Structure 1
Amino acid sequence: MPRVWDVPVHDSTRIRDARVAAEHAATLAGLDEARTAAAALVTTELATNLLKHAKGGRLLLDVVPGQVPADGGDPSRLVQIAAIDHGPGIPDVTAALRDGFTTTRSLGAGLGTCRRVADAFAVHSAPGRGTVALARIGPAGRDTAPETGGPRADGLRADGLRAGGVNLPFGGAEHSGDAWAWARSGDRVTLLLADGLGHGSQAAHASTAAVQALRGSAHLAPAELLRQLDTALRGTRGAAVAVAQVDTGTGTLRFAGLGNVGAWLWEADAWHPLLSRPGIAGVHRPRTLPEDLRHWGTGQVLLLHSDGLPSRQKPPSAPDLLFADPALMAAVTLRDSGSAARPARDDTAVAVLTRVPEEGR
């Protein structure tokens, strides 16, 4: 089941809690001692920054899938750390990433250290709206970008595509009833987001069943895959499920959804909704499941989210964010959907799929 550590950081006592959460996540991901220490260090630095610069925020720690094998097997697992705040923002992110930069008379090693230690690291900040910092630590050490030798911070990859997501459990629960995953079969790359009915462990059991069913059915078109998922989820609470599949050979995107899961496609410089059919996989499936067929090309972005986000809230459209690490895009979307005064009303998951930039291939 999706295990997520949601650590509110509003005083110094929570820094230790964040570090312990990182160590538990690293154990779950199968990291060795050195990479576990790296995850703990990055988490500690990000928690400290939340207190210093934003007067608090939250850390979301998750174990996410790594590169997707072509044969549909199980991907590697990485620890992902997202630090989210609604603080004043960082006026100059580039400067803040340099070692020695400080605005609080400290050593100025926080973000620079995270960037060097993590396998992937990215930051987005908007003055007056807050900052999101995202790091991933995997089992094999640094995944270097071919041109620079620096950390690759542009998302998890498969066949010219990249994906990423975040998951926030309702009420600080250990398990989220939402889950996202992606799989590859030949030229087809499929992104799935499942929202188990309700929340808690039984909802998590349903969404996990959807993820497991995807692994062996990635060759199916979205409508047929939803039929398979409906069978796989019998005996569970059921789940709302959205399935998006890109065929890189034909340059097409197929989408089919069942239940209250949101889907948005960025094309022609605007967000356009993709519609799901009413129903719950495993409980009630309509006889017909039409697919939405679209062209998939340069400049397009796909975003899926559970109903923890307001259905009418469009994702952010800042140019520097649209083509950043997809998980960073997902985390900013999550941040903008709520605040301390307006907490999430349910488990909330956001997953994003984009093309790998030409210069990153």
Structure 2
Amino acid sequence: MDPLGPEREDSWLRLEDASAIGAARRMATALARDRGFDDEHVGQVAVAVSEAASNLVKHARVGLMLIRPHPGALGTVEVISIDSGPGMSDTVGPIRDGYSTTGTLGIGLGAITRLADSYDIYSQPGKGTVLTMLFTARGTSVPDTVACGLGRPVGDEIVSGDALAFEETPDTVTAIVCDGLGHGIGAAEASREAVRVFRAAPEVTPVSMIERVHRALGHTRGGAVAAIHVDRRSRAVTYAGIGNISGWIVTPTGRQGMLAMPGIAGHNARHMRESRYELPPHAVIVLHSDGLTERWDLAAYPGLLRHSAHVIAGTLFRDSAIRRDDASVLVIRTGP
């Protein structure tokens, strides 16, 4: 039995040679079948994922691909492809039939975008490309999601000491991010306990959530934790945190940090409070563990804030994750 329960680890595939293309295709088709896709649709998923993986191997030299179930839609498969390859100055032209430019990810991109039920792409010359795809079983609506969380363990660890979860409604997003103290199984036990508490009552206020998590983590190593409630209709966010989870409100002109209290949830958290912030138009929320450097600046990525939460999270994850620590990032779009 898995001592950590049912929470699923993000499993990133490293695409370095042609043998990895088949592994990506098999993973995607198995997941699509498990999610109720018909044979024709499974074949389309196989083609799109194979094309994306092939592009990584051919043109980006080294890339990463994440294939997983959508966290809030049982009939949907998410695919996120990230690389630090040559990138493209034009992501519209490559989608046209017959377009091909040597040295870019243009080959096959048109087929990928036609076969996916939803997609987004962001690329910069010299920095690389992030491509995201959603595939949804026939008869199921494509989820109108505004949030995306990504994570990975440090080094050769099997599990990450970070964990996150979120719940969406048409007008709100509630979420939790936890960084268990240290690494490995012990850290993962703490962070997954925090997620379990969140899933039991995601509707409570952020400060109430932090209080519940603090009590629940007493038998674990403890960790840093942040909880958030985003109201997209009233344009407000309520935030509470203990320890060094970073919370930011990001706009095209800069970012504003959200207040967390010092301490370790489960062991040393004397003061708990929540803060409320007004959301500027088109603001994006970013929460991340200290496995991401705080030196990121989304102003260095022109137009990125207009893209999906998946693409923003993938870009931050690619360029800001620290290799010597578990890493997790959650991105929430607050506007259209």
**What range is the shorter-chain TM-score in?**
0.7 to 0.9
Does 2:157 correspond to 1:183? no
**Residues 48 and 267 of structure 1: is their aligned pair in 2 closer, same or farther, counting only changes over 3 Å?**
closer
Corresponding letter in the other structure for 2:207: A
Structure-1 separation of matches of 2:327 and 2:186: 16
Pick closer, same or farther for the CA change 1:287–1:180 going to 2, 3 Å.
same
Match of 1:294 in 2: 277
RMSD over aligned CA atoms reads 2.9
Matched residue, 2:196 = 212
Alignment coverage as a number of residue pairs: 328
Distance in 1 (CA, whole Å) between partners of 2:217 and 2:78 is: 28
Amino-acid identity (%):
35
- How far apart are the structure 2 equivalents of 1:221 and 1:173? 33
Against the structure 1 CA distance between its residues 105 and 315, is the aligned structure 2 distance closer, same or farther, given a 3 Å change threshold?
closer
Over 3 Å counting, the alpha-carbon distance change for 1:109 and 1:345 in structure 2 is same
Matches within 5 A, 1:16-95: 16-23=22-29, 25-26=31-32, 30-34=35-39, 35-66=41-72, 76=74, 78-95=76-93
Q: Contact 1:6/1:61 (CA < 8 Å) preserved in 2?
A: yes
2:147 is equivalent to residue 163 of structure 1: yes
* CA displacement 1:18-45 (0-9 Å, x = unmatched): 2233345446x63435454444333221
Whichever residue aligns with residue 244 of structure 1, its letter is I
Q: What corresponds to 2:3 in structure 1?
A: none
Q: Which runs of 5+ in 1 are unaligned?
A: 67-74, 145-154
Query: Which residue does 2:333 correspond to in 1?
Result: 354
1:262 and 2:246 matched: yes
The answer to whether residue 150 in structure 2 is matched with residue 133 in structure 1 is: no
Asked if the contact 2:86/2:103 (under 8 Å) is kept, the reply is: no
| TM superposition score normalised by structure 1 | 0.80
Query: d(CA) in 1 for partners of 2:122 and 2:157?
Result: 27
Tell me, yes or no, if structure 1 residue 230 matches structure 2 residue 214.
Answer: yes
What secondary structure is seen at the aligned counterpart in 2 of 1:226? helix
Using the TM superposition, name which of 31-40 and 110-119 deviates more: 31-40
Cα drift, residue 252 of structure 1: 1.9
1:199 to 183, 187, 210: 183
Correspondence for 1:327: 310
Change (3 A) 1:92 1:249: closer
Structure 2, unpaired ranges of 5+: 1-6
- The Cα shift of 1:201 comes to 3.8
Q: 1:201 to 1:195 in 2, by over 3 A?
A: same
Match of 2:323 in 1: 344
Match of 1:147 in 2: none
Q: For residues 104 and 246 of structure 1, what CA distance do their matches in structure 2 show?
A: 44
Deviations 1:234-281 (A, max 9, x none): 433333221121234543211111222111112472112223222232
Check 1:92–1:302 CA distance in 2 against 1; reply closer, same or farther (3 A cut).
same
Cα offsets for 1:147-192 (capped at 9, x unmatched): xxxxxxxx843xxxx2122222333655433232212589653122
Q: From the superposition, tell whether residues 196 and 279 of structure 1 become closer, same or farther in structure 2 (CA, over 3 Å).
A: same
Matched, 1:123 2:121: yes
TM-score, normalization by structure 2: 0.85
Return closer, same or farther for 1:20/1:233 CA change in 2, 3 Å cut-off.
farther
Match of 2:4 in 1: none
